[in-house]
Chains A and B, each alone.
Chain A
Amino acid sequence: MKPNDVILQSVTKVAVVIIFTFSIYLFMNGHHNPGGGFIGGLSTAAAVVLLYLAFDIEKVRENIRIDFKKLAALGVLIAVCTGLGGVLFGEEFLTQAFGYKELPIFGKTELTSALIFDTGVALAVIGTAVNIILSISEDR
């Protein structure tokens, strides 16, 4: 018998969008307000897990064609590379830089290398969390 989870699926469809948006907000805002790569990544992972819970794994996999193992590795790679970026400019490893630029639409914006580093953190967290949960849930 197929379980009837129409309500869960309907709610998920809406909720996932909200969670994703909130995750991005958390991630982008992390520099000055509560949030950051780790939390942003984790809440994204939570949303993905919710998708997996509400719909079956095959269906989600067809629509999100991401290998989360590779995503995690990519995150670590990005983090290490930003660290090396400092070395290229004669600074020590992992020296972060920041500056302020006038951008169209956004106005005066702070640009930091820390944000790229944080992207790496977020990707690593998403990749690993989803990867672990998927591995365990697939093990039947």
Chain B
Amino acid sequence: MHSFYIILFLPFLFAFIVPFLFKYINKRIHTGWFVLFVPLTIFLFLLQYIPIVAKGETIEYNLPWIPSLNINISTYIDGLGLLFGLLISGVGTLVILYSIYYLSKIREELHKFYIYLLMFMGAMLGLVFSDHIFILYGFWELTSISSFLLIGYWYERKSSRYGALKSLLITVFGGLAMLAGFIMLILMADTYSIREMIGNAAFITNHDLFIPALILILIGAFTKSAQFPFSIWLPDAMEAPTPVSAYLHSATMVKAGIYLVARLTPIFGGSSIWFWLVAGIGIITLLYGSFTAVRQTDLKALLAFSTISQLGLIMSLLGIGSLAVYFGPGESGALYTVATFAALFHLFNHSTFKGSLFMVVGIVDHETGTRDIRRLGGLMHVMPVTFTIAVVGGFSMAGLPPFNGFLSKEMFFASVNDVASAGIFGLEKLGMLFPIIAWIASVFTFVYCMILIFKTFTGKFRPEKLTKKVHEAPIGMLVSPLILGTIVVLVFFLPNVLGEYILIPALIPVLPMIPIHRDDLYITAWHGLNPELWMTIGVVVFGILLYKIVKGWIKLFNHYPQWLTLNHFYNRGLAGTEQFSKNITNTYMTGSFRHYLKYIFVFFVLVLMISFLFLYGFQFNFSNHAPIGIFDMAVVIGVVAAAFVVLFTSHRITAIVALGAVGYFISLFFVLFQAPDLGLTQFVVETVTTVLFLLCFYHLPKLRKNIGKISLKLSNLIISLAMGATVTILALAAFGHKVFEPITYFFENAYELAGAKNIVNAILVDFRGFDTMLEISVLTIAGLGVYILIRQSSKRREQSNETE
């Protein structure tokens, strides 16, 4: 096992230690300090791959997991994976550092928080490095689950539970659609490896399943990356603690969808449907997010909508970049490569400035006790450092120099201008929409950035509206956003260092067929007076204008009918499905044990008999049967007699004892057929069950024989006869078939294979050890279930007694 795997699984492994750290050391040292070391180690470890990957090389590792099913944890490191890996571990380090000061070590259940966070980190790393598509899928769902747990971290709050459930429902719905898409992809490419799929891309493009697979996979990517109309979960996810919002819901998890789109571009890119879905939905999301963000009064909600909008921007850039696959190597291809490059660049930039902004909002919330813009204002003088970081992050997001957001925003404008003149896929007519929508959305982006900065930090300071005495955040809390803010500025001045070592290597796997022209991908702040710059100047002018008169037009939002919102549809739909399934369930869940047994028996008989008919199961072969001896006859008579006693007795205790007798007779059978193990087991089981029955006896009502009508009794009789007949036929027919290889080999060689002379035991502990292990797990869980159910009901009874 290569050390890479240890690093990859480090978050999961470390999660086991966290509860102990919390229990024993947390009183003195915040648990976060120990957890901090995990992402830091991963980050430092991943750094060593930068020079290798920058040369255009990839590294692959393979760890067999279930080789018999061809499932291996195969991983490979290329530029794209590394870019995400570094973001995950790098931002992870900063976020955990921040969380140490954000979450109180006295009040919070830190062990849970850090276990969930580590679980997420491990899942996310696994997601971006795995080559096996099912492993990727597994990690994908694990990120949804850990996100669910983290959003619901303050689970006493109703809104947290609502947000957690919403995010889980939407992302897992998308994940399941994606799974179907993956299965189609596997059918088309005949491999589990993503790289081999990319190799077979030409074969996939002409397949019938191409479009269904494409749409299903995009649903997965869009739900995860909060694209319109699936975006509604992200604002509610803001119920999570702010470090989580900064980490999962802006920097990493929501970019998983973008990762997937980028990763699969070589397969699906170049088709018009992919272009229109990715670029179209992306640009709509950009507009929707920025437009809705303006009206938010909660700072975190504002950032959530801004994240939605920025994700849309990156998504649309990837869509535009996929045109390069259509054009292939050449001048046009190279032109659209820049769009993909811009997507990756903006993805990095967004993680830095949005991460710092979330931390700033967290600080404001932490120090003032509110995130409501209407109550905030004038914090500039009280929190100068926080204000500075907010300006850096906010101006970067607005697309102003000298911050990294300016560079990628300019490249975005260049790309939408290019797409307007692409002249394919119907872009001749609709192409102009791209620059127009992009420009409008950017104006709104500018406006909400200004709202974020100036409504919070300038204006009149109103301490009377705040519950806390406000002061600057502790230095530990400022370190992480300061580092991110520094990167924001540094990248503006040295963008090509990042481009050369991180972004260009990340670009290669997205567009492997296009040769890289480094001149095209050279990032400069000054391009001359080109359309992009004029667009930016226009954004600033109109943005300032709109910000100045924001009070006038923001009221227009209130006229939008409430019933037309996406959230309304979600809530109505959820309530409707719940009611629907409740109605169905209530028709058959009557609470009567007899009914449930009837369902089980009828189902059992029908399924077995029908499949028997279709599979020609009625083949009987009695030639090999042993002769029936006198003892066998006697035992059979005993069983039948005892069974009749159960049927006709009017005392429950007689019935229980008679039932026990049936069991003991059966164990006699085992003795007769020389199966001492089974005989012994049956004997002891029967004893313990009889004791159990006698204990339950106390709780049962008096046995009443004459309940129900004759017709009911008749139907019961038919069901039980059918059940008995089915089992008998099954048992008899089992001897007539030789479908599977006989297992005599194991029987004869048990001593050599397992060192055991007792074949039954060898089967239990060795040959079928997995079964046994799971059986005892089920047994234990069932036992705990019985315990909990009885405890609960007796507790409830006590409570009702007390209230009386």
Contacts and interface: CB of A to CB of B under 8 A. Distances in A.
Contacts of B766: 96, 114
B555 to A, nearest CB: 61
Contact of A76 (B780, B782, B791): B780
What bracket does the count of chain B residues touching chain A fall in? 35 or more
A137 interface: yes
A117 B777 CA distance: 13
B684 A39 contact: yes
B757 A33 contact: yes
Contacts of A128: 779-780, 782-783
Interface in B753-768: 754-758, 760-762, 764-766
A49 B756 contact: no
A96 B793 CA distance: 43
Interface in A117-140: 117-118, 120-121, 124-125, 127-129, 131-133, 135-140
A12 to B, nearest CB: 14
A105 B684 CA distance: 33
Chain A at the B interface: SS class: helix
B776 A135 contact: no
A114 B765 contact: yes
24 contacts: A32-B756, A33-B757, A34-B677, A36-B677, A36-B758, A36-B765, A46-B687, A72-B784, A75-B776, A75-B780, A76-B776, A76-B777, A93-B770, A94-B773, A114-B756, A114-B761, A117-B765, A121-B764, A128-B782, A131-B784, A132-B782, A132-B787, A135-B791, A139-B793
Given A31-B756, A36-B764, A42 B688 contact: yes
A132 B786 contact: yes
What bracket does the count of chain A residues touching chain B fall in? 35 or more
Highest count of chain B CB atoms <10 Å: which of A83, A118, A132: A132
A26 B777 CA distance: 22
Interface of B: 676-677, 680-681, 684-685, 687-688, 691-692, 695-696, 698-699, 754-758, 760-762, 764-766, 769-770, 772-773, 776-777, 779-780, 782-784, 786-787, 790-791, 793-794
B787 A42 contact: no
B783 A46 contact: no
B785 to A, nearest CB: 9
Given A26-B680, A83-B769, A124 B779 contact: yes
Given A34-B680, A69-B787, A117-B773, 10 more contacts: A26-B680, A30-B761, A33-B758, A69-B784, A72-B783, A73-B780, A76-B776, A80-B773, A83-B773, A94-B773
B696 to A, nearest CB: 6
Chain B at the A interface: SS class: helix
A79 B772 contact: yes
Contacts of B760: 34, 36
A121 B765 CA distance: 9
B598 to A, nearest CB: 25
Nearest to B791: A135
A118 B699 CA distance: 35
A83 B765 CA distance: 10
Given A39-B681, A98-B755, A133 B699 contact: no
Highest count of chain A CB atoms <10 Å: which of B681, B685, B758, B776: B776
Contacts of A127: 780, 783
A37 B775 CA distance: 13
A112 B685 CA distance: 27
A28 B687 CA distance: 22
A91 to B, nearest CB: 11
Contacts of B699: 139
Highest count of chain B CB atoms <10 Å: which of A38, A117, A138, A140: A38
A136 B677 contact: no
A96 B676 CA distance: 24
A55 to B, nearest CB: 15
Contacts of B770: 83, 93-94
Interface of A: 26, 30-39, 42-43, 45-46, 49, 53, 69, 72-73, 75-76, 79-80, 83, 93-94, 96, 98, 110, 112, 114, 117-118, 120-121, 124-125, 127-129, 131-133, 135-140
Given A42-B685, A46-B684, A127-B783, A133 B761 contact: no
Contacts of B756: 31-32, 112, 114
Contacts of A75: 776, 780
Given A34-B676, A69-B783, A127-B783, A132 B685 contact: no
A120 B761 CA distance: 14
B790 A139 contact: yes
Closest 4 CB pairs of A and B: A128-B783, A98-B755, A32-B757, A34-B676
A23 B83 CA distance: 60
Contact of B688 (A32, A38, A45, A72): A45
Nearest to A72: B780
Given A35-B758, A124-B779, A136-B692, A42 B765 contact: no
Contacts of A49: 688, 691
B755 A121 contact: no
B695 A31 contact: no
Contacts of A96: 754, 765-766, 769
Nearest to B757: A32
Contacts of B761: 30-31, 35-36, 114, 118
Contacts of A94: 769-770, 773
Highest count of chain A CB atoms <10 Å: which of B688, B765, B766: B765
A31 to B, nearest CB: 5
Nearest to B699: A139
Contact of B779 (A69, A125, A136, A139): A125
B699 to A, nearest CB: 7
Contacts of A30: 758, 761
A43 B780 contact: no
Contacts of A124: 776-777, 779-780
Highest count of chain A CB atoms <10 Å: which of B680, B691, B783: B783
A37 B765 contact: yes
B698 to A, nearest CB: 8
A136 B786 contact: yes
Contacts of B773: 76, 79-80, 83, 94, 117
A93 B760 CA distance: 21
A109 B255 CA distance: 59
A133 B794 contact: no
A117 B769 contact: yes
Contacts of A83: 769-770, 773
A138 B791 CA distance: 9
Contacts of B784: 69, 72, 131
Given A30-B758, A94-B769, A135 B676 contact: no
